[in-house]
Amino acid sequence: MGEAHGQQAPARRQPPPAEDLRTLSFEDALAELEEIVKSLEGGRGTLAQAIADYERGAALRRHCEQKLAEAEAKVQAIVDAPGGPTLRDVE
């Protein structure tokens, strides 16, 4: 009975501030997003924490989408390069 109310949620590492989001790799951002989804699905913690997690998750989703768009643009540049290797040749 020594537990204080509101300490039911498992401790998670502190996420970097929103301005540091751009320094996260795609893999790290995706891992953090998966952790947030599990926490939200578990329904543990306070409403305030759930809202903060949802907000962070939305920012992570946008970051992942941006990283994927950048990777797609790089791949497309390789495909479209004159005389360069193309993915179409592999098919």
Residue 50 belongs to what domain range?
19-79
Which CATH number does the domain housing residue 33 bear? 1.10.287
Q: Is residue 75 part of a domain?
A: yes
**What total number of domains does the chain contain?**
1
pTM of structure = 0.68
Q: What is the pLDDT, as a whole number, of residue 53?
A: 95
Query: What is the Cα–Cα distance from 7 to 3, expressed in whole angstroms?
Result: 7
Q: Is residue 45 part of a domain?
A: yes
Higher pLDDT, 4 or 56: 56
Q: Quickly tell me which residue has 């390789």 as its tokens.
A: 78
Answer yes or no: are the C-beta atoms of 36 and 56 closer than 8 Å. Answer: yes
